[in-house]
């Protein structure tokens, strides 16, 4: 069989622990036999990040900006325990944070739907993709505890020293205050990423805030989205037959529960944090959730939503069998390959990505799956496979589809 040729390299970001093991298995079994894989490889494993003083992470982000599409393996975000475990020079920052900052992107998370793993919400038939704004608000706040009577004010001092003041509250006893911010630049990037991704995936876009209560802060989000929509996207949306819909966050929550899915829900940072965990757990499993970082300039970085599955890695190191679910990592690859195929006009690559996804889903639907899915499936007589055999089984299915 002739292998599929690629034109532009995919930026490949390798990672840590169990997902690094799966990464190699996926390449060996499901990609390299079929594709003349062209990648610009960056090892974001913690050892390499430590060795390069984390320069490798920035290099991989710059390569992503250059080539336009990346696929990333899960990586360790160091904490105190990792400092001694890996003998680190510094507590290096989260690679995802570094890459997100460089790409100025928004993260879209979508569940992979298979028969036999039913969402808890029975009318959800199609995926609900959550778009979370990843900058500011309560995540970059300043807080104060107030211990006695007094007046709290919001003060802005401009470059020339002019002050604008608003009274927050006149306290007659102890209390608490909080200040937070966002920028028009970041909100605009968020909006553009959302509109682009909606066009890309041909799904309706919902956006929700609490603008009736937060008449300046949340209302600015609503206004920026509306302005950008009217001036840059309205016609494109109409052509694509999709809609942009703004509603209050509480109304959105109520509608989401009654809806069949198949749309993108854009949320502010905190709402997105909370709602993405609700949506992902209601759809079944973190191991069945994909994640893509989309920059406003149309650069894409695909990954799994879960971490490095540390507990399984230690079992693997101890020579024990593991049954780690590789679906989200496989879909990170197919997402990236499909996008590369679209950008470079390589139908064979797009077709391969479709077939590999189909093979993965059919394998599970035929009752062959990893342990995490076997525990929640409604299918009867399932076969629980180990990490390696699950991937081999997907390859068998793939062979019948190609």
- Nearest alpha carbon to residue 251 among 211, 208, 199, 194: 208
Nearest distance from C-beta of residue 309 to ligand NAP, angstroms: 4
Give the Cα separation of 266 and 264 in Å (integer): 6
Instruction: In angstroms, give the least distance from the CB of 358 to ligand NAP.
Output: 20
286 binds ligand NAP (CB under 6 A): yes
77 part of the interface to ligand NAP, by CB under 6 A? yes
Kindly list the distances between the CA atom of residue 61 and the CA atoms of 68, 100, 130, 133, in Å, as whole numbers in the listed order.
Answer: 10, 9, 23, 19
C-alpha 301/C-alpha 336 separation (Å) is: 7
Please provide residue 146's backbone torsions phi and psi, each rounded to the nearest 5 degrees: -100, 130
Q: H or E segment at 58?
A: helix 55-67
Q: Which is nearer to Mg ion, 305 or 346 (CB)?
A: 305
Binding range to ligand NAP, per CB under 6 A, among 72-80, 140-148, 167-175, 231-239: 72-80
273 binds, among ligand NAP, Mg ion, none (CB under 5 to 8 A by kind): Mg ion
Residue whose CB is less far from Mg ion, 271 or 372: 271
The minimum distance between CB 63 and ligand NAP, in angstroms, equals 18
Site for ligand NAP in 302-341 (CB under 6 A): 303, 306-311, 324-325
Query: For residue 380, what is the DSSP state?
Result: S
Residues 45-64 that bind Mg ion (CB under 5 A): none
CB of 128 to Mg ion, least distance (A): 16
| Residue 76 interacts with, from Mg ion, ligand NAP, none (CB under 5-8 Å by kind) | ligand NAP
Q: Is 287 in the site for ligand NAP (CB under 6 A)?
A: yes
9 binds, among ligand NAP, Mg ion, none (CB under 5 to 8 A by kind): none
- In 166-268, which ranges are continuous DSSP H helix? 184-201, 217-228, 234-240, 249-258
User: Nearest distance from residue 17's CB to ligand NAP, in Å?
Assistant: 7
From the CB of residue 16, how many other CB atoms can be counted at a distance below 10 Å?
27
Of these, 39, 50, 96, 259, which contacts ligand NAP (CB under 6 A)?
Answer: 96
The one of Mg ion, ligand NAP, none whose footprint includes residue 363, by CB under 5 to 8 A per kind, is none
Residue 324 binds which entry of Mg ion, ligand NAP, none, CB below 5-8 Å type-dependent = ligand NAP
Q: Please give the angle made by the CA atoms of 255, 257 and 259, to the nearest 5 degrees.
A: 65
Here the tokens at position 138 are: 């309560």
To ligand NAP, the closest distance from the beta carbon of 211 in angstroms equals 31
Q: How near is the Cβ of 276 to Mg ion at its closest, in Å?
A: 7
Which positions from 261 to 300 touch Mg ion by CB under 5 A, shown as an x/- string? ------------x---x-----------------------
Of 136 and 307, nearer to ligand NAP (C-beta) is 307
Residues in the chain: 402
Which residues, including other chains, have CB under 8 Å from residue 204's CB and lie 6 or more apart?
Answer: 198, 242, 243, 244, 245, 262, 263, 264
Q: Which of 31, 73, 28 is nearest to 49 (CA)?
A: 73
Cβ at position 277, least distance to Mg ion in Å: 5
Burial (CB count within 10 angstroms: exposed 0-12, middle 13-18, buried 19+), residue 19? buried
Residues 261-280, mask of contacts with ligand NAP (x by CB under 6 A): --------------------
Q: How far is CA 388 from CA 23, 32, 367, in A?
A: 11, 16, 16
Only one of the segments 25-33, 75-83, 210-218, 261-269 lies at the binding site for ligand NAP (rule: CB under 6 A); that segment is 75-83
Torsion sign, CA atoms 52, 55, 57, 63: negative
The closest of 208, 253, 218 to 138, measured between CA atoms, is: 218
By CB under 6 A, the residues from 107 to 166 that bind ligand NAP are none
**DSSP secondary structure letter of residue 86:** T
Bridge partners for 303 per DSSP: 72, 291
Q: Diameter of the chain by CA atoms?
A: 79
What binding mask, one character per residue, do residues 361-390 give for ligand NAP by CB under 6 A, x or -? -----------x------------------
Q: Which is closer to ligand NAP, CB of 68 or CB of 95?
A: 95
Residue ranges that bind ligand NAP, judged by CB under 6 A: 74-77, 96, 286-287, 303, 306-311, 324-325, 372
Residue ranges that bind Mg ion, judged by CB under 5 A: 273, 277
């Amino acid at each position: 069989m002739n292998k599929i040729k690629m034109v532009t390299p995919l930026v490949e970001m390798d990672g840590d622990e169990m997902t690094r093991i799966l990464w190699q298995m996926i390449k060996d079994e499901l990609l390299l036999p079929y594709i003349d894989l062209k990648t610009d490889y960056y090892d974001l494993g913690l050892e390499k990040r430590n060795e390069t003083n984390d320069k490798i992470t920035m290099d991989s982000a710059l390569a992503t900006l250059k080539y336009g599409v990346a696929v990333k393996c899960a990586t360790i975000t160091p904490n105190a325990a990792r400092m001694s475990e890996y003998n680190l020079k510094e507590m290096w920052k989260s690679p995802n944070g570094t890459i997100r900052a460089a790409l100025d992107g928004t993260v879209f998370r979508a569940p992979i739907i298979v028969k036999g793993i039913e969402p808890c919400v029975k009318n959800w038939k199609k995926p609900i993709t959550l778009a979370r704004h990843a900058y500011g608000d309560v995540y970059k706040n300043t807080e104060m505890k107030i211990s006695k009577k007094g007046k709290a004010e919001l003060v802005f001092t401009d470059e020339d020293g002019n002050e604008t003041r608003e009274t927050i509250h006149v306290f007659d006893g102890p209390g608490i205050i909080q200040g937070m911010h966002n920028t028009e630049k970041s909100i605009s990037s968020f909006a553009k990423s959302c509109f682009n991704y909606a066009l890309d995936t041909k799904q309706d876009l919902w956006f929700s805030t609490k603008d009736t209560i937060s008449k300046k802060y949340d209302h600015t989000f609503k206004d920026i989205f509306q302005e950008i929509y009217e001036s840059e996207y309205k016609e494109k949306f109409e052509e694509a037959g999709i809609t942009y819909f703004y509603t209050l966050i509480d109304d959105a929550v109520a509608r989401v529960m009654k809806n069949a899915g198949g749309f993108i829900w854009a949320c502010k940072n905190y709402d997105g944090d909370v709602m993405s965990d609700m949506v992902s757990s209601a759809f079944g499993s973190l191991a069945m959730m994909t994640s893509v970082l989309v920059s406003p300039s149309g650069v894409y970085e695909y990954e799994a939503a879960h971490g490095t599955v540390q507990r399984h890695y230690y079992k693997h190191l101890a020579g024990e069998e593991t049954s780690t679910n590789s679906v989200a990592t496989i879909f990170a690859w197919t997402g990236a390959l499909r996008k590369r195929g679209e950008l470079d006009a390589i139908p064979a690559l797009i077709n391969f990505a479709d077939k590999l996804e189909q093979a993965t889903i059919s394998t599970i639907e035929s009752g062959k799956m990893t342990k995490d899915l076997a525990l929640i499936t409604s299918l009867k007589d399932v076969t629980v496979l180990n990490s390696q055999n699950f991937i081999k089984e997907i390859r068998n299915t793939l062979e019948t589809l190609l």
